[in-house]
């Protein structure tokens, strides 16, 4: 199956995996011991395959268009975090729920953001150049955001001894992807390696969400009453992303294709970059990981709407008068 086909049908792949994972976890209660351990290596492979699709060695090129870059960074790291904090204040006072929402909504996507930008007739070149910049910035700012916004005592929840394995699951694949990119530029026959790896993120993420569902079926049942809350917050965030993109693109006087790129950047969140952190939380905080998976599914369905609305209504092509 081609990469394009996988990406077009990825929503149904993930939804099927969640349902199968819940079924396996319900029929085989001991499955959590097995699937919980398998999540980490598969997640590391997923991140490696994803990072190889990002032009990590082209970071300097991303700074050439300062107007677009500054607009995207201001929206993602100044305005969106304020909106997320306000939305979270409207949710029930459950620390695991709020921490999960903060984790998944505070940082912009670095994977399917590019895919949806391409499908939605956005400026894929700028989307690709923006991605490594937002990855570096979010790794630096996410701890600060959580310290400022989380109600829980993070010193007792995000303990260094528990979180450092999760950081390694992100940083080691990132380093390996950078090495792979350098290696792939060495010889002609190596240059197709990143392209071949590009087929793997959707299948690997399908496996990851299935394993998470199977390992946390009890937490899913306990958090079922929170599903409407997560859906409502996720949908509200998607709506805000559209409004914010329209406003900032107008202020910065960006062309339509760059405005579309802003919309997809503000609307998509970095769910499986923060998933290792959510999975590393101590017992009693399993809801945070479930919230991350729930939000990503809502977001994927929201992207189906974005693909229609953004290029046709929000940022239609400008027809020049004859």
Instruction: Please give the Cα distance from 9 to 11 (Å, whole number).
Output: 6
Instruction: Please give the Cα distance from 104 to 240 (Å, whole number).
Output: 15
- Mean pLDDT of the 61-70 span: 79
In this prediction, residue 189 has a pLDDT band, given cuts at 50, 70 and 90, of: low
Burial class (CB within 10 angstroms; exposed 0-12, middle 13-18, buried 19+) of 317: exposed
**Between 160 and 128, whose confidence is greater?**
128
In 3D, which of 91, 69, 88 has the Cα closest to residue 80? 88
The DSSP code sequence of 258-296 is HHHHHHHHHH-B-HHHHHHHHHTSPTT-HHHHHHHHHHH
The SS3 assignment for 108 reads strand
**Between 27 and 8, whose confidence is greater?**
27
152 pLDDT higher than 80 = no
218-241: per-residue pLDDT in tens? 878 888 888 899 999 999 999 999
Q: What is the pLDDT of residue 57?
A: 60
36 pLDDT higher than 80 = no
- Domain range annotation of the chain: 3-314
Q: What is the pLDDT of residue 88?
A: 94
**Between 318 and 261, whose confidence is greater?**
261
- For the beta carbon of residue 79, count every other beta carbon within 10 angstroms: 15
- Mean pLDDT of the 108-124 span: 84
**Between 193 and 143, whose confidence is greater?**
143
Q: What is the pLDDT of residue 124?
A: 79
Say if residues 246 and 270 touch (Cβ distance below 8 Å): no
**Between 191 and 177, whose confidence is greater?**
177
Instruction: Please give the Cα distance from 275 to 282 (Å, whole number).
Output: 14
- Mean pLDDT of the 290-307 span: 90
Q: What is the pLDDT of residue 83?
A: 96
6 pLDDT higher than 90 = no
Instruction: Please give the Cα distance from 254 to 30 (Å, whole number).
Output: 54
Instruction: Please give the Cα distance from 130 to 62 (Å, whole number).
Output: 6
- Average pLDDT score, the chain: 84
Q: What is the pLDDT of residue 154?
A: 62
Q: What is the pLDDT of residue 185?
A: 75
Q: What is the pLDDT of residue 34?
A: 79
Q: What is the pLDDT of residue 193?
A: 73
Instruction: Please give the Cα distance from 58 to 60 (Å, whole number).
Output: 6
Instruction: Please give the Cα distance from 22 to 30 (Å, whole number).
Output: 13
Q: What is the pLDDT of residue 159?
A: 63
Strand partners, 269: 108
Q: What is the pLDDT of residue 156?
A: 62
Three-state helix/strand/coil letters over 90-152: CCCCCHHHHHHHHHHHCCECCCHHHHHHHHCCCCHHHHHHHHHHHHHHHHHHHHHHHHHHCCC
Q: What is the pLDDT of residue 186?
A: 65
Q: Residue 39 has which token pair?
A: 């999540």
Three-point CA angle 171, 174, 180, nearest 5°: 145
261 pLDDT higher than 90 = yes
Q: Does domain 3-314 have CATH number 1.20.1530.20?
A: yes
Q: Which range is least confidently modeled, 44-53, 70-79, 184-193, 228-237?
A: 184-193
Say if residues 235 and 298 touch (Cβ distance below 8 Å): yes
Give helix 112-119 / helix 256-267 axis angle, nearest 10°: 140
54 pLDDT higher than 80 = no
The model's pTM is: 0.83
Say if residues 256 and 102 touch (Cβ distance below 8 Å): no
- Taking the alpha carbons at both ends of the chain, their separation in whole angstroms is 44
Most confident of 133-142, 168-177, 196-205, 236-245: 236-245
53 pLDDT higher than 90 = no
Q: What is the pLDDT of residue 160?
A: 59
In 3D, which of 108, 126, 78 has the Cα closest to residue 299? 108
């Amino acid at each position: 199956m081609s990469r394009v086909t996988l990406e077009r049908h990825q929503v149904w792949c993930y939804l099927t995996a969640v349902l199968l994972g819940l079924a396996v976890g319900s029929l085989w209660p001991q499955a959590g011991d097995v699937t919980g351990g398998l999540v980490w290596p598969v997640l590391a492979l997923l991140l490696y395959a994803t990072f190889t699709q990002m032009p990590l060695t082209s970071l300097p090129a991303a700074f050439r268009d300062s107007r677009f870059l500054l607009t995207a960074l201001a929206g993602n790291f100044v305005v969106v975090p304020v909106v997320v904090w306000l939305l979270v204040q409207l949710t029930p006072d459950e620390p695991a729920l709020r921490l999960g929402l903060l984790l998944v909504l505070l940082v912009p996507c670095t994977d399917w953001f590019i895919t949806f930008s391409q499908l939605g007739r956005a400026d894929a070149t700028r989307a690709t150049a923006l991605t490594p910049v937002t990855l570096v910035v979010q790794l630096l700012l996410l701890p600060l955001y959580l310290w400022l916004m989380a109600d829980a005592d993070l010193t007792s929840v995000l303990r260094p001894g528990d979180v450092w394995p999760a950081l390694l699951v992100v940083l080691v694949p990132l380093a390996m992807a950078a090495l792979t990119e350098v290696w792939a530029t060495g010889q002609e026959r190596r240059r197709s390696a990143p392209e071949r790896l590009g087929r793997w993120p959707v299948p690997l993420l399908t496996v990851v969400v299935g394993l998470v569902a199977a390992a946390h079926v009890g937490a899913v049942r306990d958090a079922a009453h929170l599903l409407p809350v997560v859906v409502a917050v996720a949908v509200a965030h998607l709506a805000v992303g559209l409004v914010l993109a329209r406003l900032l693109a107008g202020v910065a006087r960006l062309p339509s294709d760059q405005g579309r790129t802003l919309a997809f950047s503000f609307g998509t969140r970095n769910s499986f970059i923060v998933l290792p952190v959510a999975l590393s939380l101590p017992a009693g905080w399993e809801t945070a990981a479930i919230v991350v998976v729930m939000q990503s599914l809502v977001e994927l369905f929201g992207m189906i709407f974005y693909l229609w609305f953004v290029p046709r209504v929000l940022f239609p092509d400008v027809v020049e008068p004859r």
